[in-house]
Structure 1
Amino acid sequence: MRILLILIFAPLIALTLMYFLFPGRLLALGRWLLRKRGGTVQKSVTVDGRAWPYLEGGDPAKPLLLLVHGFSGDKDNWSMIAPYLTRDYHIISPDLPGFGENERDPALAYDIEAQTRRLKAFADALGLARPHIAGNSMGGWIALRYALDYPDALASLILIDNAGVLGANESDLQKQAVDEDYNPLVLKNLDDADRLVAMVVHKPPFIPKRLRPALYADGLRYRDQLDTIFWIIANEARDHPLNDRLGEVKVPTLILWGRHDRVIDVSCVAALEAGIAGSTSHIMEHVGHVPMVEDPKGTAAVMKGFLAKL
């Protein structure tokens, strides 16, 4: 009985101690468990002298999905959806330059054309021949630009609440970011975290206070650089949207959106549908800007249903 009690309570005690004494290690454990559940492992490849960390999972013999994260995100934005994809697909999700564990050189160009060119070089370095490409937010804009700049280098396009197009209605983000005095997607401090999370997800999860310093450490550490990158792409989205070039997209395309997206308004779906001939669209009624995080199983089902018909 004593051994049984030890086996039951020892892990709980260890987790409690980690929560209070080593919250960063607890978050690292959670990240490791998510990757384990999704069958992904971290790898790295050098591209043009720069190390690209990325996650890889699934059978390399199966169709390839290249997953591109959004602004202020990283490769683990796809870890929650990975368990629903790796049984049927080979997935790769990199950290883009300026984000995650990739190089954060402030001297780099962070416009969408530059990031798209780097993503193509990453794909070439790994020998990724005509992957299916899915991107969320800024990553969706990069994925869309990839389809325009390298039309023969991808098999299909999945746009998840992508930036880079204008809809009929302004989003809450657009209304708030009327000038460069206020950035709704950059943290001011830890107390600002609840506001930011509520901007991105429809039903914000409870985040224990003790975990917040570790969880938002990178966002605060790189706040000024993230602010600079944000305004580069925000001004590009306003002044040079891709609406007029959508007719150039020739690959099968899925448009997937959260009805309650406050960052990029759902009216963009109609603009994308009208511009991309033969595209398929799906609006998820219960999520916001990051469907693959808010409802990974449902998002994966929509993606897999689309890909199965190709």
Structure 2
Amino acid sequence: MALAQTLPSPDSALVDFDFLLQTLYTKLLPESLRWNLGENLYNTYIGVRRKATGARLGSAFLGDITVKYLEWGRPQLPKLLLLHGFADSKDGVLPYAHALSKRFHVIAPDLPGFGDSEKPARVTYSLDQFETWVTRFADKMHFDRFVLAGHSLGGAIAAELSGKIPGRVQRLILISAAGLVPTNDGDNIYERILNGHNPFEVSSYEDFRDFFNLIFSDPHKAPLPVKNYLYMKFAANRKWYHKIFLDMMGDISSEEYIEMRKQEQIKKFEAIRTPTLVVWGNYDGFFPESIGSWMHRTIRDSRYALIDGAAHMAPMEQSEKLAKLTLSFLNS
């Protein structure tokens, strides 16, 4: 399914106005002032949201790395471990976690390399390494049996983990999950990378605006100072994201290598025996909906749900709808 068929057409007047505001803002204020203003506004907003949802901030040492996490709900409740996506953090899944916290004891870590967790440079950030870290984290949190939910990259890690420790993962929720690599499947992130353009490697505001348009159904909600700060932050992390992405993906420089990766991943998904909910946004600009239905067909015991009007960031934009689908699945 091509991207043009999946995403709604952006309002050209809004796009032009956004670019005009960004140009004026950049010319009027020096970079240091824009960074400080945007960072302060962003951190204040995050702080207010954490307090409003009753989030508790924690830290865990895993033997070789320190991981920061947010926690909701009473420890006596059933356990749910929630993993965020690439270049995101524990705050990206905050509204979804909060919506589940009356029913579950929810913990969402910053994956190593992202957010406030440590970012060791001399480590290969493969899915196997992430799986090892997350397993150690679950041990540290005394999550012996738990529901495992993952968004985007977190979904790929969750699928990996469910295959390694199936006796501990009670149910699996995959939200716009990475993992299955398509070929000849229209406009998606893998084909963009194959053509020499990784959306995560932002080098201009135009790149960042295109990235925002891919992941959000309404990218114009973010105030300009915050959006500009996030752009500068992404640009500053460009080389870091490049390193982690190459570590995870391995060689996808040709259709032959992509096909090999796809066959490897199909075998992993076919081996999943945990009851699974696959959830997708019908406007997802990263991974077309066909990948979600493909995951559903590949995982033996799975259900499939589409969230109308959602793009890639459903845990943030459509948290209530996503939580309702999740609880319905977990109560079945």
TM-score by length of 1: 0.87
Q: Please give the per-residue CA displacement for 1:150-209, whole angstroms capped at 9, x wherever unaligned.
A: 111211100001111135724432332224x42112221344321110111223233332
Contact 1:133–1:156 (CA<8 Å) still a contact in 2? yes
Contact 1:39–1:82 (CA<8 Å) still a contact in 2? no
CA distance in 1, matches of 2:239, 2:115: 15
Q: In the alignment, residue 112 of structure 1 is paired with which amino acid?
A: L
Cα distance, 1:24 vs structure 2: 2.1
Equivalent residue for 1:174, pick from 180, 190, 195: 190
Is it true that 1:234 corresponds to 2:249 in the alignment?
yes
CA distance in 1, matches of 2:313, 2:161: 21
| Match in the other structure for 2:117 | 102
Query: In 2 relative to 1, CA 140–236 (structure 1 residues): closer, same or farther, beyond 3 Å?
Result: farther
Q: Please give the per-residue CA displacement for 1:262-301, whole angstroms capped at 9, x wherever unaligned.
A: 2112112232222222211101121111211121111111
CA distance in 2, matches of 1:107, 1:19: 32
Contact 1:259–1:288 (CA<8 Å) still a contact in 2? yes
Equivalent residue for 1:284, pick from 295, 304, 307: 307
Q: Please give the per-residue CA displacement for 1:129-152, whole angstroms capped at 9, x wherever unaligned.
A: 111010011110000000111111
Q: Residues 72-151 of structure 1 correspond to what in structure 2 (within 5 A)?
A: 72-151=87-166
Q: In the alignment, residue 116 of structure 2 is paired with which amino acid?
A: E
Runs of 4+ in 1 over 6 A off after TM superposition: 18-21
Equivalent residue for 2:317, pick from 294, 303, 306: 294
Contact 1:66–1:133 (CA<8 Å) still a contact in 2? yes
Q: Residues 168-247 of structure 1 correspond to what in structure 2 (within 5 A)?
A: 169-179=185-195, 181-235=196-250, 238=258, 239-241=260-262, 242-247=265-270
Contact 2:84–2:151 (CA<8 Å) still a contact in 1? yes
Cα distance, 1:20 vs structure 2: 11
CA distance in 1, matches of 2:277, 2:199: 28
CA distance in 1, matches of 2:250, 2:47: 36
Q: Which structure has more RCO (C-alpha within 8 Å, separation ≥ 6)?
A: 2
What SS is found at the alignment partner of 1:262? coil
* Deviating more after overlay: 85-94 vs 242-251: 242-251
What SS is found at the alignment partner of 1:298? helix
* Deviating more after overlay: 203-212 vs 253-262: 203-212
| Match in the other structure for 2:179 | 164
Query: In 2 relative to 1, CA 150–171 (structure 1 residues): closer, same or farther, beyond 3 Å?
Result: farther
Q: Please give the per-residue CA displacement for 1:108-134, whole angstroms capped at 9, x wherever unaligned.
A: 111111111111011111211111010
Cα distance, 1:55 vs structure 2: 0.3
Equivalent residue for 2:81, pick from 66, 82, 96: 66
What SS is found at the alignment partner of 1:128? coil
| Match in the other structure for 2:66 | 51
CA distance in 1, matches of 2:201, 2:294: 28
What SS is found at the alignment partner of 1:96? coil
What SS is found at the alignment partner of 1:176? helix
Cα distance, 1:236 vs structure 2: 6.3
* Deviating more after overlay: 49-58 vs 202-211: 202-211
CA distance in 2, matches of 1:171, 1:138: 19
CA distance in 1, matches of 2:243, 2:138: 26
Is it true that 1:37 corresponds to 2:66 in the alignment?
no
Aligned residues with identical type, % of pairs:
25
Q: Please give the per-residue CA displacement for 1:208-238, whole angstroms capped at 9, x wherever unaligned.
A: 3222343344323221010121233334683
Contact 1:257–1:283 (CA<8 Å) still a contact in 2? yes
| Match in the other structure for 1:274 | 297
CA distance in 2, matches of 1:255, 1:148: 16
Runs of 5+ in structure 2 lacking a partner? 1-32, 253-257
Contact 1:19–1:26 (CA<8 Å) still a contact in 2? no
Runs of 5+ in structure 1 lacking a partner? 1-17
TM-score by length of 2: 0.82
Q: In the alignment, residue 219 of structure 1 is paired with which amino acid?
A: F
More helix by share: 2
* Deviating more after overlay: 222-231 vs 136-145: 222-231
| Match in the other structure for 2:3 | none
